[in-house]
Chain A
Amino acid sequence: MAKFRVLNPEGYPPKVSATGMAPGLDTLDGKKVFLVDVGFANSDNFIAQLHGWFEDHRPTIRTEIVRWGDQHQPNPELCERIRADGDAAIIGVGT
């Protein structure tokens, strides 16, 4: 069968390099979890409710609310602080 051939209109995708994950924790009990508000509309209120849930249901898990700042840029200072003072993070609410 005769083939009809055209040029592909798609651009060139980047080659994806593997990005490693951090190992999971054995437990969250006795650990500190940072609750990171990324700054999108109403994410602060959601993170506050998440914080309230931990206080009501899992008081042995320490939590602290922090704000990411510019959600479109890295925040190395905050990440260093979480690494130094925390064990895990929950970040939201994003798309």
Chain B
Amino acid sequence: MESKYGIPTVGVHLNVFAPLVRNTVRSSGMPSARQVFVPTPLMNTPPPILREYVEGNDPVHGRPFMEEVFDQLTRPIPSDELRGEDWDRETPRYIEASSEEEMHELFRERWYTDFLPIILPTEERVERMLTGTSHAPDEMVGKTRPTIGMEFWHYDVEKVAINAVMAGCSPEHLPVLLAIGQGGDTGRQSSMSSMGNMVVVNGPIRHKIGMNSGIGALGPYNYANAVLGRAFGIMSQNLQGGSVPGVTYNGSQGCNFSYNCITFAENEEASPWQPYHVEHGFDSDESAVTVSYIWGNVWTEYLREYWQEKLVAIFCALEPGFGCTLVLDPIVAREFVEKGFDTKESIAEWIHENARIPRRRYWDHVALNLIHQVVDAGIEPFAGYWAAGPEEPIPMFETNRINIVVTGGETNGHFSIFQGSPMRMSFRGTREVGPTVSVDAWR
């Protein structure tokens, strides 16, 4: 509003985000942007306390909040501040240190790692990594960022290879990481909600690189599963311009899933249904990778006598705005088939029809604030959900936000229901591909 419309505008922020705000206004070319701050938290804070925020001090500037508002809007601004600031940052191709030990320390100091031991990306190691693809090192792969509203950073093939080395990958893993990079998703999303990720690999590449889709597929029992997930996280934090708490990462509690981004292969051979990537437009002999955003999971077992009641209770305890992903052991997948669910779509339709909560509770979720604009735009079914009476049952999830993947080694009929799904296109780094992306294109 300031630059394009000439409206003096002061932004109100929570004090906990002061470093993030300083970083963001500088990267927007307006380092002197008018900013004021109120205490944290805002969410769930009752109006009388909010009035105290208005009448109290700005905790960052240390002055009465309203005095700061008036000062920001009426103070004379020097001409250089009015103009804004051109700014460029150098990221030199090489980093030097006096020893290998010092380099490891430097990488930790600069937040380049996940604080587990890494392999330093020497030129020789990166050159070897680059043998995993036919693409040129300087070919641009994509762009990503910590969260919506922040600046995009770009990266080429070599940058992805450097991070792959750090995570312990082999050259044969590189095409999967390049496909993830092309999709523009981040494994270090800065949302206050502390989301993690899930990475599902489909197609012949699973066998070529020896991924695990059997016993322990979601655990630390396979080289490819382990390093691919770790590499996605490390490359995200470095390629997007950082994942530093308080600045470029603001997940309140953080997410332990972020160490490996829940990376595994679908057990296509044991699944009674189409593979996940085939559902999303790929042929079964193609290889593809899908990145989801995940907030947690509920474990359960078998479809026992009261399975419908139990599943409805689980789904209805989730957050409706995030979607859900069922990760089923093949035993459970076959149980669904025995109960008449011939396709994954039929399960999604059952969940959509049966997992419902009253309208009053449906809209009492923070995440749904993020999609309120679709109500304002009159887009169905959400406009109808908003207009519904308070007790009217509303589906927890639309069918396109319900995902089903089969993996596991059939030692028992266990499964997990994860909160989350692939990111809506409007939130992603690119609309040109994904969320399921070809791996073959990066060989």
User: Which residue of B is nearest A57, CB measured?
Assistant: B66
- B42 is contacted by which of A8, A22, A27, A42 (Cβ under 8 Å)? A42
Contact (Cβ within 8 A) B50 A72: no
Q: B84's contact among A14, A18, A48, by CB below 8 Å, is which?
A: A18
B238, A7: Cβ atoms under 8 Å? no
Q: Report whether B7 and A22 are in contact in the complex, using a CB–CB cutoff of 8 Å.
A: yes
Q: Which residues of A contact B74 (CB under 8 A)?
A: 24-28
Partner of A90, one of B9, B82, B88: B9
The residues in A between 1 and 17 inclusive whose CB is less than 8 angstroms from any CB of B are 1-17
Report the stretch among B118-126, B257-265, B326-334 that lies at the interface.
Answer: B118-126
- CB-contact partner of A20 in B3, B100, B234, B369, under 8 A: B3
Q: Are A10 and B9 in contact (CB under 8 A)?
A: no
- Please measure, in the bound complex, the distance between the C-alpha atom of A2 and the C-alpha atom of B112, giving whole angstroms: 23
Q: Do the beta carbons of A49 and B51 come within 8 Å of each other?
A: yes
Q: Which of B3, B42, B95 contacts A41 (CB 8 A)?
A: B42
Say whether, besides A11-B239, A83-B6, A5 and B122 are in contact (CB < 8 Å): yes
Contact B91 A8 (CB under 8 A): yes
Complex contacts, A70 vs chain B, CB 8 Å: 373, 376
Residues of B355-388 whose CB lies within 8 A of A: 366, 369-370, 372-373, 376
Residues of B within 8 A of A94 (CB): 11-13
Q: Are A53 and B51 in contact (CB under 8 A)?
A: yes
A65 at the interface (CB under 8 A from B): no
Question: Nearest residue in B to A27 (C-beta to C-beta)?
Answer: B74
Total of A-B residue pairs, C-beta within 8 Å? 256
Q: Is B152 an interface residue (CB 8 A)?
A: yes
CB of B81 within 8 A of CB of A4, answer no
> Measured between alpha carbons, how far is A19 from B126 in the docked complex, in Å?
38
**Smallest CB separation, A30 vs chain B (Å):** 13
B27 contacts A16, C-beta separation under 8 Å: yes
Interface residues of A in 35-59 (CB under 8 A from B): 39-43, 45-46, 48-50, 52-53, 57
Contact with A along B195-232 (1 / 0, CB 8 A): 00000000000000000000000000000000000000
Does chain A have a CB within 8 A of B317? Answer: no
What residue in chain A is nearest B102 (Cβ atoms)? A4
Partner of A21, one of B11, B30, B126, B241: B30
Determine if B92 and A3 form an interchain contact, defined as CB atoms under 8 angstroms apart: no
Most buried by A among B77, B88, B99, B373: B373
What is the distance, in angstroms, from B173's C-beta to the closest C-beta of chain A?
16
CA distance A50 to B34 in the complex (A): 17
- Shortest CB distance B237–A (Å): 9
Q: How far is the CA of A29 from the CA of B159 in the complex (A)?
A: 55
**What residues of chain B lie closer than 8 Å to A4, measured between beta carbons?**
96-100, 102-103, 120
